[in-house]
Amino acid sequence: MTHEELYAKACRVIPGGVDSPVRAFNAVGGTPIFVASGEGAYLTLADGRRVLDCCCSWGAMILGHADPGIVEAVSRAAARGTTFGIATPGEAELAERIVARIPFVDKVRLVNSGTEAVMTAIRLARGVTGRDLIIKCEGCYHGHSDGLLVSAGSGAMTAGDGTQPASAGIPAPIAEETLVVPYNDAEAVAAALAAHPGRVAAVILEPVAGNMGCVPPKPGYLQAVQEAARAAGALFICDEVINAWRFGLGLYSAAAGLEPDIVTMGKVIGGGFPLAAVGARADVMDALAPTGRVYQAGTLSGNPVAVAAAIETLDRLAADPPYARLAAMAERIERGVNASAERHGVPLRVQRHATIFTPFATDALPVLDLADSKRCDATRYARFFHGMLDRGVYLEPSQFEVNFVSAAHTDADIDRFLQAAEDPLASLS
Ligand code: PMP
C-alpha cells in the first residue's frame, strides 16, 4: 500500500490517522509516512523506500533500531513472561544503575512514559510542599497532563491554536495553577515567585530545552532558577526526559553541577520501550505511596521486558560511551548545513547542543526562547523537510523539535545527510 492508502485507512479508525499528533505532518504538510521496519540508523518505509532516520523515535533509540543486543535481551525477557503485576528483581537492578549516576538521587520510581514521570513529579512537589502553583517555561513540553499543557511546546505548538491552555478539555482552575515564564529568563522566575509568596510548589523546566527546537540554557540561567526556587521554598524540577543519558552517562543537571529536588527521565533510559522514571532524595521519594501519602501506580510499571531493554541500553552506553562521536557527527551537520546555507544565501541555520540539533529557518541565531523560535519561517522549514525526505533523510516534521543521531549513525551517513541537504538549500532562498 502507498502512504496515502495507509493514511486513509488509518484515518478511518484513528483520529488524524496517528496515535500521537507529532507524527502527523501538521507543521510541514503532506501525508505522514508509515514505517515498515528499522535497522540501525535507517528506516524502511511502508512503500519500500529507505531513509536515514534523525528522529530516532524522538531520541529513544540511541543504539539505533533493532539493535541485536536489545532484541536478544527483550526476547529472553519476554520468553520468561512479559508482566506479572508483581515485583521483579530487574527493577532494582535498573534503579541501582540510574541512582549510581546521579549524586542527588537516592531512589527512583519506574513508570511507563515521560508524561507519567512528570505528572508524578508535580504531584510529589505539591504533596511535599503543601502548595499548589507550578511555574513552567513557555515552549517547554512536559507531557500531556492537564496542568502542563499550558504554553507547551512540541506537538502542542502545532496542534492547538497557540492560545492558553494548548488543549481543549483543561478546566480553567487547573490551567490557572500553572504560571508561565519565558525560558532563559531567571528574573521572570524570581518575579513569578515573588508575586505568589508561599504558594509555588515547584519550578519545572527542561535544562536543555528540546520542544521549541534545540534551545540550550544561557550560562548561569539554570543555577539562578535553582537559587530562586530554593529561596522561595519551592522545589526545582529538571525534566530530563530528553536530556538524560543523551549528552553523557546520567543527567545534564548533574554534569552542570545543579542539584534539582526532583528529576524526570525517559526516552534513552527506556531502550525503546515504554519506560521512564522519576527520581529524588530519599525523603522526597518516600512521600510516594506506599511509604507516603502521594499516590502513584501502574499495572505495567517496571515490566520485565522494558526493564531488560533499559538495563541493556545503560550497560552498553556505560561500556562504550558514544557521546563524543555523537556530538562530532551532530557538529558536522551543524557546520556543513550552516556553511552551505550561507553560501546559498538561505536563512536556515542549525542550532546544536552537544548531540542534538534543530535546523531553524532563520539566519539570526541564537534562538533563546519560544518567541525567537516562533519567529523562524515555518514554510521554509517545511520545504527543507520535504526536500530532505525526498532525498532519503527523515528530519523531525517541525522545527519545534530536536533531531538526534544514534550510535548506529556513521560518518558516511553524515556525508549522505550533507549531500542530501545541498539541493534543498540551493532552492530555498
Ligand atoms: N518531557 C519532555 C521534556 C519531553 O520531551 C517529553 C516527550 N517528548 C515528555 C516529557 C513526555 O514524554 P512521553 O511522550 O513519553 O509521555
Q: Which residue has the cell 521572570?
A: 188
Mean pLDDT across the chain, nearest whole number?
96
Q: Is 313 in a helix, a strand, or coil?
A: helix
The per-residue pLDDT for range 18-31, each reduced to its tens digit, is 999 999 999 999 99
Give the least confident one: 26-30, 224-228, 396-400, 425-429: 425-429
Residues with catalytic function: 141, 239, 267
Give the mutation target among 241, 268, 273, 358 for probing the ligand 1 site: most ligand atoms within 8 A of CB: 241
Q: Which residue has the cell 536530556?
A: 243
Q: What pLDDT is recorded for position 160? A: 46
Q: Report whether pLDDT(158) > 60.
A: no
Q: What is the mean pLDDT of residues 114-121?
A: 98
Q: Report whether pLDDT(72) > 70.
A: yes
The per-residue pLDDT for range 230-276, each reduced to its tens digit, is 999 999 999 999 999 999 999 999 999 999 999 999 999 999 999 99
Q: What pLDDT is recorded for position 373? A: 97
* Separation between Cα atoms, residue 123 and residue 401, nearest integer Å: 27
Q: Is 168 in a helix, a strand, or coil?
A: coil
Give the mutation target among 242, 245, 251 for probing the ligand 1 site: most ligand atoms within 8 A of CB: 242
CA nearest to 327, candidates 197, 180, 164, 214: 214
| Residue 133, Cβ density class (10 Å: 0-12 exposed, 13-18 middle, ≥19 buried) | buried
- What's the pTM value of the predicted model, to 2 decimals? 0.97
The per-residue pLDDT for range 128-157, each reduced to its tens digit, is 999 999 999 999 999 999 999 988 877 776
Q: What is the mean pLDDT of residues 97-106?
A: 98
Residues across the chain: 429
Helices and strands, number each (H, E), in the chain = 16, 14
Q: Which residues line ligand 1 (CB under 6 A)?
A: 58, 113-115, 118, 141-143, 154, 206, 210-211, 239, 241-242, 266, 276
